[in-house]
Structure 1
């Protein structure tokens, strides 16, 4: 349960009275407007509108106001959970919920009642929840991007090597074959077998039109087991035999 103490709301404050200080509690700055430079622990940068800064206890907090700032200062007196402690640093909130939280906080200015303390605690808790949600979304996005990069790598391998199995391709991108197949279909929209077969057939079409190679020779070059399997697969996807296709496209 979050508890707070020492809340203050500053409007268009021109400068900090101290260029740095240290507090025995967790400190949260909730910035509505203006900009400041900050540095604490391994964090350094510029904070501005719709940002929060979460500073740990007994940490030298260096700051320099770049433009007049409107911000909330909240001292958190309760022990934070591990997932809340991980939110040390700067976090940006570009949403209506942040603005509404600031509006509610302003209504508790100079109010020392227990009810006001509860409201402030709930706002802080909600900011933690929002931060955790954004981190989860970012994590999922990174996973998706990583998955897309892996599948893109697999398609390049397929284009350059027509004689591999799907299992071999999966191992080349360090994935379990079953997991690889599921992810491939999610990203590409069709199974790796179908995608790979279509790639091979495009190459078959090229050989049929541009060379006099036999069907057995083409099958060997394009990763099909034999001419019979190639012919059967060709008919299935292109609705005609390789021989008919070659005759039809002779110029």
Structure 2
């Protein structure tokens, strides 16, 4: 569980994009490190903890601890080294593995971080902006931790079936996806699936898929010169016209305005 008293002190941060393999299968670091995954997947082992990490996952490794890792799919991630405001056995420490539920908010934070790193800003200005975005990430972790505590106090427990549903929706969001079939695989009709998914994640399965598609569309608008029709095809929509409608409805500005104001 994330402890809101954790107060990280930034040491360095680097963004690695589409890394096909790690230079070393295992490593140790003098400081705390965070691997915040923006895309792709990798397998890891830290002390007695092991698993896989993809978008939405944050992996923390303590100082002087062996960090084993292997890329499963070319991985883009933020590599962040930091110290803690207080040390000692009683000081709150990050868990090894955290998963952020609010993918839309997280993707927006990551996008602004990537832009700040790539915009050629003066060093001091870039560092101030990055520090602001990192603090935004810590706030997001604290907010979600508080929600989990409140749910536990009310007798709520994580819903593993909905977590699996979210994983499947994330995997297939950019292609043809039949949301009702994901529910049927869990023995749920459309109404039951929607209610349980919304209870677990605060949004409907369709809204979840839409947010993933629009996140990818935002990235393609700023990083490529693809036409709107080509972007629509890449994110799972039938036409640029339909993408434009959804983009404007959800983000309150058109794709063309977004591209113009967010490109350097």
Could you say what secondary structure the match of 2:73 adopts? strand
1:7-47 C-alpha deviation (Å, 9 max, x unpaired): 22122110101011111111111111111111113321110
CA–CA separation in structure 2 for the residues paired with 1:3 and 1:117:
13
**Shift of the alpha carbon at 1:122?**
2.3
CA–CA separation in structure 2 for the residues paired with 1:112 and 1:5:
18
What is the aligned counterpart of 2:31 among 16, 19, 25?
A: 25
Return the TM-score normalized by structure 2: 0.49
1:54-109 C-alpha deviation (Å, 9 max, x unpaired): 22211211111111111111112453687862444232343322111111111232
- 123-132 or 26-35: bigger deviation: 123-132
The verdict on how the C-alpha distance between 1:91 and 1:135 changes in structure 2, with shifts beyond 3 A counting, is same
* Within-5 A mapping of 1:55-134: 55-77=61-83, 79=85, 85-109=93-117, 113-134=123-144
Return the TM-score normalized by structure 1: 0.51
- Which of structures 1 and 2 has the bigger CA Rg? 1
Residue 255 of structure 2 corresponds to: none
The verdict on how the C-alpha distance between 1:78 and 1:21 changes in structure 2, with shifts beyond 3 A counting, is same
Could you say what secondary structure the match of 1:24 adopts? coil
The verdict on how the C-alpha distance between 1:112 and 1:39 changes in structure 2, with shifts beyond 3 A counting, is farther
Could you say what secondary structure the match of 1:145 adopts? coil
1:182-222 C-alpha deviation (Å, 9 max, x unpaired): xxxxxxxxxxxxxxxxxxxxxxxxxxxxxxxxxxxxxxxxx
* Structure 1 alignment gaps of length 5 or more: 147-251
Residue 51 of structure 2 corresponds to: 45
**Shift of the alpha carbon at 1:143?**
1.9
Contact 2:100 2:106 in 1 (8 A): no
Residue 145 of structure 1 corresponds to: 155
* Within-5 A mapping of 1:178-189: none
Contact 2:26 2:67 in 1 (8 A): yes
CA–CA separation in structure 2 for the residues paired with 1:13 and 1:95:
21
- 90-99 or 18-27: bigger deviation: 90-99
* Structure 2 alignment gaps of length 5 or more: 1-6, 157-264
Q: Please state if 1:36 is matched with 2:42.
A: yes
